[in-house]
Amino acid sequence: MAYRNVFFTMKLSEQNAVEFQRKLKAWYSAHQRKLPWRETQDPYKIWISEVMLQQTTVQTVIPYYTKWMTFFPDMHTLSKAPLQKVLKVWQGLGYYKRAKNLHQASKIIMTNFDGKIPQNYDDLKNLPGLGPYTTAALLSIAFDKPYLTIDANVRRILMRLLKLSRKSTSSIDRKLHCYFSPFLPVKSMGIFNQALMELGSLVCRPKNPLCLLCPILEYCRAYESGKQEVIPIPEKRSYKKIQAVIGIIEKNNKFLIQKRPSTGLLADLWEFPGGKIEKGEKAKQALRREMKEELGTEIHDLKFLTKVQHSYTQFQVTLHAFACNLKTNPVLIGKRHRWVSLHGMRQLPFPSGSAKVIRFLEKTRNKP
């Protein structure tokens, strides 16, 4: 049933599948970007790159990938590193659970797989952080096994080839896989996958696709009917604006910081004490309330320092930073709080918003 549908809606057929593959690979050979993780065959390095590239653009990843390899060049080094150091190297890249999963998976691989990334689908996919995409990517790119990678690029290309007017969600991946499997090459699947992704990134882009440069234009149903710009249907997003306040508490050149919980947003990262400004509240009022709640003490000598903007996927935060002093000793909870110098902060992972405040402190500190 599904197959009849395929040959009906696709311009691809078993007759022209080889031609399709040839044109795609020829384009890739001529137009691929030179990227650090394409210079290696080391499965460990390919693994790291694939995880960094999850929901993250190539240009953002490159410096992080390079830096990572200087600190953790192989599986053994990663598995022995402390988590805080791993998170510090990851600082600014976002989705910090990825770093924790990499760290955890490296320990499992050292213990259960003799330090080598398993080449078996189920063993690989059972590792933390390895979902359908990354598993297929490693198996095909590092081990030349015939698995199709469906990422946002490939999903968009296939939806356009098929003229599927829907939102691009992972729920249609099974259908895409079924439609497309008759036309996959039997060897060099890693190259084929990377060619598709590169084409999606450089030519078959979400907006303003460069159809006239596309090597597989003749197979595209969307282009045929002029619908390439409206497939897939864009995601609707809602943005909330949040005002937050933080207290910069300094004593003997050290600042009071606290560690976030090990689950949820920005897990295990450090931050300055503070919190959201509630409705109808002034910034200073909010700071007094938060300090009472978090540290159990009144504050005085509030002095505005700086304001930084920071945007997340779902909301945008304006961070109002105040210097202040505590009236009594803070009620510090175990290892959650710490007094740290600006120098010491360089060893600890902070969210990007906090990092902006730290840069402000460093700048003003260096000026007499």
Q: Under the rule (CB under 7 A), what is the footprint of DNA?
A: 35, 37-38, 49-50, 53-60, 92-97, 101, 128-135, 137, 151-153, 156, 168-171, 194, 197-198, 200-201, 206-208, 232, 234-237, 239, 264-267, 310-314, 316, 351-353
Q: Which is nearer to DNA, 273 or 330 (CB)?
A: 273
Q: Which is nearer to DNA, 14 or 235 (CB)?
A: 235
DSSP-derived secondary structure for 131-179: -HHHHHHIIIIIT--------HHHHHHHHHHHT--SB--GGGHHHHHHH
Q: C-beta of 135: minimal distance to DNA in Å?
A: 6
Q: C-beta of 88: minimal distance to DNA in Å?
A: 12
Query: Which residues, 6 or more positions from 165, have their beta carbon under 8 angstroms from its beta carbon?
Result: 227, 230, 231, 232, 233
Name the active-site residue from 50, 198, 290, 294.
50
Q: Which is nearer to DNA, 219 or 350 (CB)?
A: 350
Q: C-beta of 286: minimal distance to DNA in Å?
A: 20
Q: C-beta of 230: minimal distance to DNA in Å?
A: 10
Residue 367 dihedral angles phi and psi, to the nearest 5°: -90, 125
* Structure letter (DSSP) for residue 34: -
**Per-residue CA distances from 42 to 45, 47, 55, 73 (Å):** 5, 9, 22, 10
Q: Which is nearer to DNA, 111 or 285 (CB)?
A: 111
The C-alpha atoms of residue 364 and residue 284 are separated, in whole angstroms, by: 22
Q: Which is nearer to DNA, 210 or 331 (CB)?
A: 210
Q: C-beta of 103: minimal distance to DNA in Å?
A: 13
Residues 283 and 320: beta-carbon distance below 8 Å: yes
Residue 222 dihedral angles phi and psi, to the nearest 5°: -65, -45
Q: C-beta of 311: minimal distance to DNA in Å?
A: 6
Is 294 known to be catalytic?
A: no
The C-alpha atoms of residue 206 and residue 76 are separated, in whole angstroms, by: 39
Q: Which of 86, 27, 19, 18 is nearest to 52 (CA)?
A: 86
Q: Which of 219, 180, 175 is nearest to 27 (CA)?
A: 219
What six digits make up the tokens of 56? 């993250």
Q: Which is nearer to DNA, 48 or 295 (CB)?
A: 48
Q: Which is nearer to DNA, 35 or 332 (CB)?
A: 35
List helix spans (H) across the chain: 2-9, 17-31, 43-52, 58-71, 75-80, 83-90, 97-112, 121-125, 132-137, 152-162, 173-180, 189-202, 221-224, 283-295, 342-345, 352-366
Q: Which is nearer to DNA, 241 or 251 (CB)?
A: 241
Q: Which burial class, exposed, middle or buried, applies to 70 when counting CB atoms under 10 A from its CB (0-12, 13-18, 19+)? A: exposed
Residues 193 and 140: beta-carbon distance below 8 Å: yes
Q: C-beta of 239: minimal distance to DNA in Å?
A: 5
Q: C-beta of 16: minimal distance to DNA in Å?
A: 24
The 3-class secondary structure across 63-96, one letter per residue, is: HHHHHHHHHCCCHHHHHHCCHHHHHHHHCCCCCC
Active site residues: 50
